Amino acid sequence: MTEETTGLRELKKQRTRQTLSETAIALFLERGFDQVSVAEVAAAAEVSKPTLFRYFPAKEDLVLDRIADHQGEAARVVRGRAPGESPLAALRAHFHARLDARDPVTGLCDVPAVLAFRDMVYSTPSLQGRLMRYAAEDERALAEALAETGADEAAARLAAAQIIAVHHVLARDNWQRLASGPVTAAVLDAAHAGAELAYELLGAGLAARGL
Amino acid sequence: MTEETTGLRELKKQRTRQTLSETAIALFLERGFDQVSVAEVAAAAEVSKPTLFRYFPAKEDLVLDRIADHQGEAARVVRGRAPGESPLAALRAHFHARLDARDPVTGLCDVPAVLAFRDMVYSTPSLQGRLMRYAAEDERALAEALAETGADEAAARLAAAQIIAVHHVLARDNWQRLASGPVTAAVLDAAHAGAELAYELLGAGLAARGL
DNA sequence: AAACTTTTGTTACTCGGTTGCATTTTACGT
DNA sequence: ACGTAAAATGCAACCGAGTAACAAAAGTTT
């Protein structure tokens, strides 16, 4: 899946990249995103500052790299849906499944490290901003996938925007639920109920347009 | 409507604020947001750099101040709707009305200055980011207003997210329509049709929840 | 091993944004 | 009208993110 041009150099690059991201996140979690300078991160990772920026175009990307693998997930789900299944049904089923798996993207993951990570992201405006821009790309990709199903292109864009927006609300709700304590059966039920409500709201209108 | 503590000082402050914003936008439109430094703006407005930042917390706010009056418009529309009218119906009617008025917020305004302004915003990532954060506040306010109607709070948050997201798509679509030329009858019709489609998609699901 | 390419480090820079303090300007009591 | 407190400004110096230029040190290829 990933590029594999030449052996040794590429390996070292991957390693430096990972080291940078990991030491950065560790420092950020320890003392706060804004309280740690990139110079410190570079020093801790034993790399010069320009090198750091060759790997990550901005400080925020040191953090969000970890999330980047989920890029375009919604679009993939739509494209990989079972024959005969509507895009929305596929997305709903997928979301419920991720919920059961306590996938961090759903917000429903009480592993301390993940929780601390989310706290940091939600409490740091610049990280939120960057995250929204990732979301915009997600939305664009989803709109494309929906349009491929033969739906009206305008409708596809509108639907994609609604779906992505709703997912964020759900994730945030779930994250808030975890403020009170760990994932219990009741919390899981509430999360599923929230998702059902969301897809119910989405569904009625979108179903009429074949989505 | 605005604060009016003491007469003369406040007036001068308002004037400096406006001068700053106007000279900034003029310079930005002329040479691009990233190609003009805040020091230049401050100099052009005959003000020191710290003073500039006392008025505007960030460079982006020099631009977006102009848009800030629309903050919370959706929430206001919901709160000010006619008795018996559903929130969604009020929002739909309002949007169509703004469309007919060629309100810049709908994207359907071909006044050259407005057009250039939007081009700048859409082509400058940092401005987009700031704009999204304004939108988040809009969304929060709308959710609050919807919850006041007695709807389920979770549903209100979900609906608000959908509505705000959809509005942005509509505005972007309209802006793209204007890339080809001025607002003709056909363009206006298309914009109205787009809005109708959007509210149709929203409506089915939301109506069932009393929104 | 030599020649070539890619990556890195060093230094120095620009720019957005802040801080501390002295200076001016406005408001207000007498 | 005058003097004083409060607020706003300017100045200078500073911090941190991000970049440019160039030299040094890899890794790759023959």
- Name residues whose C-beta falls within 8 Å of residue B57's C-beta, 6 or more positions apart in sequence: none
CATH number of B7-62, picked from 1.20.1370.20, 3.30.365.10, 1.10.340.30, 1.10.10.60: 1.10.10.60
pLDDT digits (tens, 9 = 90+) for A17-27: 999 999 999 99
CB contact under 8 A, B205 and A204: yes
Q: What percent of chain B has pLDDT over 70?
A: 96
Closest CB to B169 among A161, A198, A209: A161
Long-range contacts from A28-37, C-beta under 8 angstroms, 24+ separation: A28/A62, A28/A63, A28/A120, A29/A113, A29/A116, A29/A117, A29/A120, A32/A120, A32/A124, A33/A59, A33/A63, A33/A120, A33/A124, A33/A126, A33/A127, A34/A124
Q: How confident is the model at residue A3 (pLDDT cuts 50, 70, 90)?
A: very low
pLDDT digits (tens, 9 = 90+) for B131-141: 999 999 999 99
- Name residue A66's amino acid: R
**Domain ranges, ordered by start, for chain B:** 7-62, 71-207
> Nearest nucleotide (C1') to the CA of residue A8?
D27
d(CA B203, nearest CA chain A) in Å: 6
CB contact under 8 A, A202 and B128: no
pLDDT digits (tens, 9 = 90+) for A106-128: 999 999 999 999 999 999 999 99
Contacts A–B by Cβ distance under 8 A: 92
Average pLDDT in chain B? 93
pLDDT value at A177 more than 90? yes
The tokens for B7 are 């007469």
pLDDT of residue A7: 75
Query: Closest-CA residue in chain B for A168?
Result: B161
Ramachandran angles phi, psi of A182, nearest 5°: -75, 175
* Helix, coil or strand: residue A111: coil
Query: Closest-CA residue in chain B for A172?
Result: B157
Cβ contact B17:B55 at 8 Å: yes
Cα-based angle B144, B147, B153 (whole degrees, multiple of 5): 105
* Helix, coil or strand: residue A43: helix
Residue A54, CB, strand C, below 7 Å: yes
Regarding the domain delimited by A7-59, which CATH topology (the fold level of the hierarchy) does it fall under?
A: Arc Repressor Mutant, subunit A (1.10.10)
pLDDT value at B194 more than 50? yes
pLDDT of residue B101: 97
